[in-house]
């Protein structure tokens, strides 16, 4: 059993989280990479960002711009034109035994609505059933994020770093870990 090959979708209060890479706007993602609040990244050529998206298991967070016939006909999922990309996360993964969570963000104007926590919960929903997962890891330098990953994903700090003095590596063993 591996990460799902068919897209997964969750909707809530006019927002959509989807693993459908066809909905990801590389242009919007790259614009966010250039912003200061995304301290760990920087803009890259669009074709490089596209390769990153193609090679990752992605979670897009979207605001549904309007409830219209197109959205209704598409089972509430919308089309890229009816969605505003406001967040993102990706797993660098082999799809079976290992996953590294990175590039998780919610645009500042949409923070404080519980969307980041919801995205983490959706990620956990996809990761938890994997029977051969050995490790699920990430790095963070934000104390609030560290607490969220501990609470929502059951992760712990793997190195002796102090999140107040820089980033820490976090992770949790999967069901397939034998040591």
Residue 161's pLDDT band, with cuts at 50, 70 and 90, is: low
User: For 21-134, where are the alpha helices, taking DSSP H only?
Assistant: 26-33, 46-54, 69-73, 115-127
What is the CATH topology of the domain spanning 9-67+78-153? Answer: Aminopeptidase (3.40.630)
Q: 58 vs 32, 41, 54, 74, 175, CA distance in Å? A: 16, 17, 9, 20, 22
Domain boundaries, the chain: 9-67+78-153
108-141: burial string, b at 16+ Cβ within 10 Å, e else: eebeeeebbebbbebbeebbeebeebbebbbbbe
| pLDDT at site 80 | 64
Please give the mean pLDDT across all residues of the chain.
Answer: 90
pTM of the model: 0.88
Residue-level pLDDT at 46? 94
Query: Residue 72's pLDDT is what?
Result: 42
Q: What is the pLDDT of residues 98-150, one digit of tens each?
A: 999 999 999 999 999 999 999 999 999 999 999 999 999 999 988 899 999 99
At 10 the pLDDT is 98
């Amino acid at each position: 059993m591996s990460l799902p090959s068919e897209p997964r979708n969750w909707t809530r209060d006019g927002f959509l989280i989807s693993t459908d890479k066809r909905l990801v706007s590389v242009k919007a993602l790259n614009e966010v990479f250039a912003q200061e609040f995304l301290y760990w990244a920087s803009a890259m050529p669009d074709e490089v960002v596209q390769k990153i998206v193609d090679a990752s298991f992605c979670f897009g967070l979207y605001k549904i711009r309007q409830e219209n016939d197109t959205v209704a006909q598409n089972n509430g999922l919308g089309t890229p034109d009816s969605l505003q990309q406001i967040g993102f996360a990706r797993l660098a993964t082999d799809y079976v035994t290992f996953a590294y969570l990175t590039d998780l963000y919610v645009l500042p104007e949409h923070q404080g609505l519980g969307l980041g926590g919801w995205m983490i919960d959706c990620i956990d929903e996809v990761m938890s059933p994997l029977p051969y997962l050995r490790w699920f890891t990430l790095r963070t330098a934000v104390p609030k994020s560290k607490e969220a990953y501990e609470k929502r994903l059951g992760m712990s700090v793997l190195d002796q770093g102090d999140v107040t003095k820089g980033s820490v590596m976090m992770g949790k063993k999967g069901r397939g870990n034998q040591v």
